[in-house]
Amino acid sequence: MNHGTTTLLFIFLVLSCACGPAVPNSTMTDKAGITFSDATESSSIRFEHIPTRTENKLLPEIMGSGVAISDFDRDGSPDVILVNSGSVRSKQRPSNAADHFYLNDGKGNFRNASEEWNFRGHGYGQGVAVGDVDSDGWTDVLLTNFQGSLILLKNTGSGFLDVSDGSGLSKNNEWITSAGFFDADKDGDLDVYLVGYVAFTPENPRRVYRNRMLIYSTPIYYQPTGDRLMLNNGSGKFTDATEAAGIASAKHNGLALAIADIDKDGDEDIYVANDTDANLLWINENGKFRDVAQLAGVSYDEAGREEGSMGADVTDSNGDGLLDIVVTNFQAESTALYIQTEPMLFKEISDAVGIGQSARQRLKFGVDFFDADNDGDEDLLVANGHIEDTVEQNSDSVKFAQPNTFYEAVGNGQFRDISMSAGNALADVQVSRGLATGDLNGDGLLDFVINNNGGTAQVAFNSTGSKGNFVVLWLEGKKSNRTAIGARVVAKMGDRTIERQVMGAQSYLSVSDFRLHFGLGPADTIDELKIYWPGGEQQTIENIAGNKFYYVRQGAETVNFVPGEKRIEP
């Protein structure tokens, strides 16, 4: 988080105004029809995030927590985890601050199965990562905490077992924010990257003031803790490989990560969004990592300044075949869009593509690129909310609770902010943090869930009327990790090509559904689908009919499924 100062002394000289027409408002409206309807009530997801904000304004209280959308019972429909926080000064969660685990019936009707599945976090909750760490076919869960041990929950297919003890994941009370699973060393199992924030102690917090008012502080007043890489031995036991992997030297105020094969060399790279610090781009070189962010142009803003970076995601935003990076930043900073102009060289062009201006009016956290109208390009959703709960006493134009922002991709890499016309879900005004997407109701359109700090989690169903066709792929590795994190899929329809990756992490403290969603536009068939499995194996499938859901086990024939209809056994 960044509290920038603004040099505006020249304003004093602006005194000669008279009456007349106002400057036209540049806010764009949209008739394209992308619409999200608030489905919090109908979904039966009832989640209140409890941050227990105190008058001491302890930093963790304002950070919020994450959300995961993933299929935990293998019925083909994505389920939802919402992480709660609790009380910073207490290791025990207040009874009303439990994490929630919701099972989906495939049609977007959820039931709270936390008790039934023994889903239980403790400590002051932050982030969530998911993946099949023991390769048994069931997606496991990792919960991160402020000053608490990491919690590894093994999914047995009918419940969760806390296997943190003996997992090798440390209990050194570091503040871990985000985490993401991926196969760092290409040995076929899932390793985990842990993002460290700062060394904060509630007993002796810095007291930071704005306009003589105590506010939530920024991380710059604390020592960064550094990130860690934990390697899996294949059965869910982890060993610290931070030093050996080459990432030990980088200590930054980390909040989020996006994991993708950014240089498309067959292994996954990691982009880390650091708060008021240089961002990192770890290029994976056979399990060793090298930070190229500064040289590639994705470390700072265009003027070389560190920003208050909160969230990150990766996509090919302009369809040129090269992956681009989006990073959410502090109020008055843009949501940076780093376009890869040639291999591993980026330029930040958010102002030129229609994102910058409205982004500066918000403090941004969760972020996700996804194809909301199935037209084949990915739109952008950003979760907003300030960190100063007293900001309105210092500003008439900046609010603590803020509406979220939806940018429609309108072609040629351009976006437009259609938040005002994109349905009542975008009218929700809360202090938003974690954000994840997935097709919750099985209608072939991607929906979203947002975890709001001190508020009610929001479930939004995509009710876009004018939409393209789609194909959904549930990939499961055999030689490669079972969750297929790192798989890259290229779909060809006529002369059009769409590429998607199964990403181990993105957004802020959150992870979206691993199933790959292809918007086909008017095409009713994918002519050729090429799957590049982690580890290098390729698989080609031809003539995939649209508007269907497919399960693909590595090397096997595709199987149609209907979300929520029946389990596909591991």
Partner 1 sequence: MFRKIAIGVFSTAITALFLSANGCDSGGSGVDPVTKDAQAASQISQISTSIRNRKAISTEEFAALKQLHDRFPRSDLVRRTYFEALIVRGDVGSLEKVLTERSIAALSQKAKLDLAKIFKSNGKYAECIDILLPLAEKDPENSEIVGLLGVSYFHLDEPEKAAPFFDRVWPRLVADKRFEEITIRGLIHFRNNDLTRALEVLKLSREINPDQVAVNNALSRIYARLGDKEKADSFRRITVAAQDSAVSELNRASRNVENIIELENEWKNKNFSRVIELSRLLLPGSSPDQRTILYQYILEAGRANGDTAAAKEAMNELQNLQKR
- Interface residues with partner 1 (CB under 8 A)? 5-23, 26, 206-212, 220-221, 276, 278, 294-295, 297, 300, 302-306, 332, 334, 347, 349, 351-353, 356-357, 359-361, 393-398
Tell me how far, at minimum, the Cβ of 278 lies from partner 1, in Å.
7
Select 122 or 399, whichever has its Cβ closest to partner 1: 399
Nearer to partner 1, 65 or 318 (CB): 318
- Residue (of 136, 135, 101) closest to 121 by Cα position: 101
Whole-angstrom distance, CA of residue 227 vs CA of residue 254: 7
3-class state of residue 118 by DSSP = coil
Q: Indicate the residue among 10 and 538 with the shorter CB distance to partner 1.
A: 10
Tell me the one-letter amino acid at 30.
Answer: D
Q: For residue 199, how far is the Cα from the chain centroid?
A: 24
d(CA 248, CA 429): 39
CB of 316 to partner 1, least distance (A): 18
CB atoms within 10 A of CB 404: 29
- Residue 291 or 447 having the CB closest to partner 1: 291
Contacts (Cβ under 8 Å, ≥6 apart) of 298: 271, 279, 281, 325, 327, 338, 346
Nearest distance from C-beta of residue 503 to partner 1, angstroms: 27
Instruction: Pick the closer one to partner 1 by CB: 361 or 421.
Output: 361
Give whichever of 361 and 497 is closer to partner 1, judged by the CB atom: 361
Return the SS3 of 177.
Answer: strand
Which of 35, 276 has the CB closer to partner 1?
Answer: 276
CB of 12 to partner 1, least distance (A): 6
- Beta bridge pairs of residue 151: 143
Nearest-approach distance from CB 478 to partner 1, in angstroms = 41
Pair type for strands 238-240 and 548-553: unpaired
Nearer to partner 1, 94 or 343 (CB): 343
Cα 288 from Cα 246, distance rounded (Å): 6
Nearer to partner 1, 219 or 376 (CB): 219
Q: Which is nearer to partner 1, 259 or 380 (CB)?
A: 380
Cα–Cα distance measured from residue 107 to residue 120, given in angstroms and rounded to the nearest whole number: 25
Residue 271 CB, nearest approach to partner 1 (Å): 18
d(CA 95, CA 525): 50
Rounded CA separation 302/150 (Å): 36
Other C-beta atoms lying within 10 Å of the C-beta of residue 386: 23
Pairing label, strands 469-476, 458-462: unpaired
CB nearer partner 1, residue 166 or residue 209? 209
Measured between alpha carbons, how far is residue 107 from residues 66, 78, 117, 283 in Å?
A: 23, 10, 21, 39
The DSSP output letter for 506 is B
Instruction: For the CB of residue 179, give the shortest distance to partner 1 in the complex, in Å.
Output: 26
Least separation in angstroms between residue 306's CB and partner 1 is 5
Q: Cβ–Cβ contacts within 10 Å for residue 392, how many?
A: 14
Report the nearest approach of partner 1 to the CB of residue 57 (Å): 13
Task: Give the residue from 529, 554, 536, 535 showing the smallest Cα distance to 476.
Answer: 554
Q: Which is nearer to partner 1, 61 or 307 (CB)?
A: 307
Residue 48 or 392: the one with the smaller Cβ distance to partner 1 is: 392
Least distance (Å) from partner 1 to the CB of residue 428? Answer: 21
Closest by Cα among 63, 49, 41, 102 to 451: 49
**Residue among 219, 271, 217, 277 at smallest CA distance from 247:** 271
> Shortest approach of partner 1 to residue 369 CB, angstroms?
20
The residue to which tokens 């080609």 are assigned = 540
In whole angstroms, how close is the CB of 240 to partner 1 at the nearest point? 26
The widest CA-to-CA distance across the chain, in whole angstroms, is 74
Q: Report the DSSP pairing between strands 151-155 and 429-430.
A: unpaired
CA distance 275 to 257: 12
Minimum CB separation of residue 389 from partner 1 in Å reads: 14
**383/431 Cα distance (integer angstroms):** 8
Residues 552 and 92 sit within 8 Å (Cβ to Cβ)? no
